[in-house]
Amino acid sequence: MKKLEGKWLVAVSTGPDSMYLVHQCLELGMDIQIAHVNYHHRKQAAEEEAFIRFFAEENQIPLHVRNDAFKPKGNFEAEAREWRYTFFAKIVRKEQLKGVLVAHQQEDLLETFLMQEEKRLEPDYFGLKERTMMQGISVVRPLLTMRKAEILRYLDEHQYRYFIDHTNLEDKYRRNQIRHSQVETMTDFMREALLQEINRRNSILQERRHRVAKYIQKGKVSLKLYRNLEKEDRLSTLRQLLDQKKHHTKVQLIELDQIVMRKESFYIPFEKWYFTSDGQFFFLWKEENYSYSDIQIKEYPFFKVEKGESGVNAVTVHASDYPLTIRNYRKGDTIQLRFGKKKVSRFFIDRKIPLYLRKVWPIVLNKKAEVILVPGLGSDVNHYSINPTFNVIQYLNTKE
């Protein structure tokens, strides 16, 4: 392990890997602080916390402990990870540290890769990165070339104390099953071959990601350009577009790829976002509801209000209409025109308004909650004149 300059937070569970890491930092003379998380889910958790408190005091290392009640609602491992990295990020920012050091070693790297393969994930990186960002802070894994056996041998030779998490010996979690049945049974030849394969995959991934990055402009991809790419480049482009949204399986990416290849218009729920198209480009879109009652001549996120000029964006407002509301379109909205009542949804269809824009199209209502203007369609029969009060202009795209 090489010495890292600057002040660092070290995540210490008191297991052999993290105790090896903190001892290495001390031997190298690094400026460190320690973070420990007590989930209160194992009998020896209190003993481990007491030990790390003694260790930190004995070595005069600033210590941060999170020991408030942890109550997961679903996946324990995923929620525990979020729990501790939220804690780490808070300390790093408050103490103005360079980042956090975590003690993942070579077995962890191999297990992660095998799990990615089993789930058929298309990850941002195969295995584990030595340096990455989580919750806006730098996360460094300096032990990825170290084997577990080397770590244990060092600790035992120096008679350094550490704790064994007995849940790691159980096969309750899939990671443990992979560790016991595959990683721990590997020969040196098999291990080296797998490490070379991981490096090979990452080299290909890095080259392809660099090449397809130019296809994504301001978060959008041209449908025409995309459809002329080879399949693997198309999937890589999709993966890069969705980069901020966790890992995705190859099956998921292929399903999205088939939609993009076949359809001009689509609007697909995707986690907290929508995967959508405007007929020329596809992109991620975050649906938003809005409502404004203090209407002024100015620009709003999805529309702007201007001085009145005759046209399909104009409305004449009477004193009895106030207070007005401008909100986004809702299913079932209708407007009374000269030739009868018309569904706003029909207007969208007739004008071929992209699906994503329909969700944020501004609708003007009077105090009776009657629709008096749909920009692009016009005002209702009672709010038309040659001297309109104001215009509402719908942006034809998201504001850059």
pTM listed for this prediction: 0.68
100-111 residue pLDDT tens: 999 999 999 999
pLDDT at position 186 is: 92
CA–CA separation, 287 and 347 (whole Å): 20
Q: How sure is the predictor about 246, in pLDDT bands with cuts at 50, 70 and 90?
A: low
> And the tokens for 61?
């290392």
Domain final residue pick, 257, 286, 315 = 286
pLDDT tops 70 at residue 92: yes
Question: Residues 249, 297: one domain?
Answer: no
pLDDT tops 90 at residue 227: yes
pLDDT tops 90 at residue 143: yes
pLDDT at position 399 is: 42
Question: Residues 177, 272: one domain?
Answer: no
Mean pLDDT on 31-48: 92
- CATH at residue 64: 3.40.50.620
| β-pair partners for 137 | 134
Alpha-carbon dihedral sign for residues 346, 352, 353, 355: positive
Domain final residue pick, 138, 172, 187 = 187
Mean pLDDT on 235-258: 83
Task: Give the residue, 134 or 243, on which the prediction is more confident.
Answer: 134
Question: Residues 275, 307: one domain?
Answer: no
Calculate the average pLDDT of the chain.
92
User: How far is Cα of residue 83 from the mean position of the Cα atoms in its chain?
Assistant: 16
| For residue 16, cis peptide bond before it (omega within 30 degrees of 0) | no
Query: How would you classify the pairing of strands 248-249 and 378-379?
Result: unpaired
Helix (H, G, I), strand (E, B) or coil at 160: coil
CA neighbor of 51 nearest in space, from 13, 8, 101: 13
| Amino acid identity for residue 80 in this structure | A
| β-pair partners for 220 | 217, 283
Question: Residues 126, 149: one domain?
Answer: yes
Question: Residues 165, 23: one domain?
Answer: yes
Question: Residues 252, 162: one domain?
Answer: no
CA-based angle 158:162:167, to the nearest 5? 145
324-367 residue pLDDT tens: 999 999 999 999 998 899 999 999 999 989 899 999 999 999 99
Looking at the domain assignment, is residue 33 inside a domain?
A: yes
Looking at the domain assignment, is residue 28 inside a domain?
A: yes
Q: What residue numbers bound the domain in which 302 lies?
A: 291-394
Question: Residues 133, 30: one domain?
Answer: yes
Looking at the domain assignment, is residue 80 inside a domain?
A: yes
Question: Residues 170, 223: one domain?
Answer: no
Question: Residues 150, 252: one domain?
Answer: no
CA neighbor of 221 nearest in space, from 210, 208, 205, 234: 234
pLDDT at position 70 is: 84
| Amino acid identity for residue 115 in this structure | M
CA–CA separation, 379 and 229 (whole Å): 45
Looking at the domain assignment, is residue 2 inside a domain?
A: no
Question: Residues 282, 295: one domain?
Answer: no
Question: Residues 148, 233: one domain?
Answer: no
Domain final residue pick, 187, 207, 224 = 187
pLDDT tops 80 at residue 7: yes
The single residue listed with the structure tokens 């098999």 is: 190
Looking at the domain assignment, is residue 273 inside a domain?
A: yes
61-73 residue pLDDT tens: 999 999 998 888 8
Looking at the domain assignment, is residue 198 inside a domain?
A: no
Q: How many domains does the chain have?
A: 3
Q: How sure is the predictor about 54, in pLDDT bands with cuts at 50, 70 and 90?
A: very high
- Out of 226-235, 246-255, 391-400, least confident range: 391-400
pLDDT at position 398 is: 44
- CATH at residue 262: 3.30.465
> And the tokens for 13?
């569970």
CA–CA separation, 85 and 74 (whole Å): 17
Alpha-carbon dihedral sign for residues 188, 130, 205, 77: positive
Looking at the domain assignment, is residue 400 inside a domain?
A: no
- Out of 71-75, 167-171, 280-284, least confident range: 167-171
pLDDT tops 90 at residue 383: yes
pLDDT at position 247 is: 62
Neighbours of 332 (CB within 10 A): 8
Query: How would you classify the pairing of strands 7-11 and 100-101?
Result: parallel
Looking at the domain assignment, is residue 227 inside a domain?
A: yes
Question: Residues 67, 108: one domain?
Answer: yes
pLDDT tops 70 at residue 396: no
107-133 residue pLDDT tens: 999 999 999 999 887 787 899 999 999
